């Protein structure tokens, strides 16, 4: 063998040994999450070359700006609220009617072992991003920005946008948004599995195709979902579940989701921008479960009516200002809430449908504490007797909602998270 051939061969072998170890590996879920979140990925990740694309750089700048703004205006203040008032936290967090909003769940309750989110939005899928053309990837990033824009602007997702944006494209559903929120809250993703529940509430690992198919059909009552194991830096492993499921009575019980939740220990619950569904008779099952399984409930006025928090079981604190529901929900006005909020503590951030700081309200209910008789906590009433307003303008608004805002099937046509029963 000539000297030249030996030199060439040695050079080739050295080049192979110096190549990135992961260059031939599949993209990890954590790399995918960071890429979608506009954050740097490891230099040896297959996604690294795509981060020099001008569209990705623009996407990163947009999310950097949006999250910096939200951190200053809302999330830093929510953490202060949590540290001051949510001192007895529990291992499990329940966030019903959440959609993919992990962001608020982890900000209010950062150290939970298990987070359970639920909504009608499909679980969705995130393919290997290296398989997408540059133009397709650019379009998916723009769509992802649009799907999150209302949460950044108003603190909740707008339904008519979500119904379209979360069901289209190759990157769709709740999963890509969950990825972004995990990455942007400094989480490291270790494991992702699609799951489903049987009627007894037993968790089963499902293939991706099964999970996607289940999440897209309205004929099944089975709850499909995704299980994500993550950690905060070098902290302990935590688990996030998102279930695409109908929480209305009947479906809630038959899907196995009710049985799944009933197996859990005491939980901390978050409810916001929930279309006042827990005020009505069609969601009595999930309302009862939340009251029975929650040690702490943090909610705005769209959550469980004040009248269900028994004075002998719950200690209730009010924060912010109760201006009443938006006109489209005017028939869910609660006179006792107005009474309670006359002596409310300040709220330093905006949240819920009345998302401006000085208009927002937040109720903190903690079980197991006796409350003085002066606390304005009402006794439970029947489901059919939801609190209503009595002013003429509110009556007109209520008539408008009932006449135009309900389908015969019981589907509320609203601009924010409609749920059907």
Lowest mean pLDDT among 178-182, 215-219, 234-238, 265-269: 215-219
pLDDT at 24: 46
% of the chain with per-residue pLDDT over 70: 73
pLDDT at 417: 36
Which one of 211, 240, 271 terminates a domain? Answer: 271
Which one of 271, 303, 338 terminates a domain? Answer: 271
State the Cα–Cα distance between residues 67 and 216, nearest whole angstrom.
Answer: 30
Residues 249 and 308 in one domain: no
Residues 146 and 221 in one domain: yes
Query: Does a structural domain hold residue 277?
Result: no
| pLDDT category of residue 136 using cuts at 50, 70 and 90 | confident
- The pLDDT of 331-338, averaged and rounded, is 96
Residues 78 and 27 in one domain: yes
Q: Residues of 170-193 as b/e, b for ≥16 C-beta within 10 angstroms?
A: ebbbbbbbbbbbbbbbebbbeebe
State the Cα–Cα distance between residues 261 and 351, nearest whole angstrom.
Answer: 26
Angle between helices 134-154 and 54-70 (to 10 degrees): 10
The three-class DSSP label of residue 119 is strand
Instruction: Provide the mean pLDDT of the chain.
Output: 79
CB 307 within 8 A of CB 291: no
pLDDT at 168: 57
State the Cα–Cα distance between residues 280 and 406, nearest whole angstrom.
Answer: 13
pLDDT at 131: 85
Measure the N-to-C terminal CA separation of the chain; round to a whole number of Å.
Answer: 79
What is the total count of domains within the chain? 2
Domain containing residue 83: 19-271
Residues 362 and 237 in one domain: no
Residues 262 and 314 in one domain: no
pLDDT at 384: 39
Residues 297 and 210 in one domain: no
- The pLDDT of 73-101, averaged and rounded, is 94
Residues 247 and 346 in one domain: no
Query: Does a structural domain hold residue 137?
Result: yes
* pTM of the full structure: 0.80
Residues 88 and 224 in one domain: yes
pLDDT at 402: 36
Query: Does a structural domain hold residue 327?
Result: yes
Query: Does a structural domain hold residue 5?
Result: no
% of the chain with per-residue pLDDT over 90: 58
Query: Quick check: 108 pLDDT over 90?
Result: yes
- The more confidently predicted of residues 154 and 277 is 277
State the Cα–Cα distance between residues 244 and 185, nearest whole angstrom.
Answer: 23
Query: Does a structural domain hold residue 283?
Result: no
| pLDDT category of residue 208 using cuts at 50, 70 and 90 | very low
pLDDT at 347: 96
State the Cα–Cα distance between residues 390 and 376, nearest whole angstrom.
Answer: 20
């Amino acid at each position: 063998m000539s000297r030249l051939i030996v030199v060439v061969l040695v050079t080739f072998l050295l080049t192979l040994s110096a190549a990135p170890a992961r260059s031939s590996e599949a993209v990890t879920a954590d790399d995918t999450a960071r890429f979608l979140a506009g954050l740097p990925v490891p230099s040896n990740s297959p996604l690294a070359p795509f981060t020099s694309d001008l569209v990705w750089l623009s996407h990163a700048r947009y999310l950097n700006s949006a999250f910096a703004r939200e951190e200053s205006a809302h999330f830093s203040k929510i953490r202060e609220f949590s540290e001051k008032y949510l001192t007895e936290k529990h291992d499990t967090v329940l966030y019903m009617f959440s959609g993919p909003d992990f962001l608020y769940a982890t900000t209010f309750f950062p150290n939970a072992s298990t987070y359970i989110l639920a909504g009608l939005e499909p679980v969705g899928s995130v393919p290997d991003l290296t398989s997408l053309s540059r133009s397709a990837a650019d379009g998916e990033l723009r769509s992802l920005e649009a799907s999150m824009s209302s949460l950044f602007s108003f603190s909740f997702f707008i339904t008519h946008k979500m119904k379209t944006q979360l069901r289209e494209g190759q990157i769709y559903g709740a999963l890509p948004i969950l990825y972004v929120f995990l990455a942007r809250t400094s989480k490291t993703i270790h494991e992702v599995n699609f799951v489903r529940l049987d009627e007894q509430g037993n968790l089963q690992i499902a293939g991706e195709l099964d999970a996607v198919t289940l999440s897209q059909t309205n004929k099944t009552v089975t709850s499909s979902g995704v299980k994500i194991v993550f950690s905060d830096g070098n902290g302990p492993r935590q688990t996030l579940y998102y279930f695409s499921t109908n929480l209305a009575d009947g479906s809630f019980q038959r899907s196995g989701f009710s049985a799944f939740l009933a197996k859990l220990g005491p939980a901390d619950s978050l409810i916001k921008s929930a279309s006042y569904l827990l005020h009505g008779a069609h969601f009595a099952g999930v309302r009862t479960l939340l009251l029975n399984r929650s040690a702490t409930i943090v909610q705005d006025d769209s959550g469980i009516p004040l009248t269900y928090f028994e004075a002998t079981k719950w200690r209730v604190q009010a924060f912010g200002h109760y201006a009443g529901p938006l006109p489209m929900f005017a028939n869910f006005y609660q006179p006792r809430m107005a009474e309670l909020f006359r002596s409310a503590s300040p709220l330093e951030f905006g949240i819920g449908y009345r998302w401006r700081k000085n208009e927002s309200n937040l109720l903190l209910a903690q079980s197991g504490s006796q409350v003085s008789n002066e606390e304005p906590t009402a006794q439970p009433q029947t489901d059919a007797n939801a609190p209503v307003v009595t002013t003429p303008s509110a009556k007109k608004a209520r008539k408008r909602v009932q006449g135009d805002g309900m389908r015969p099937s019981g589907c509320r046509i609203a601009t924010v998270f409609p749920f059907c029963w």
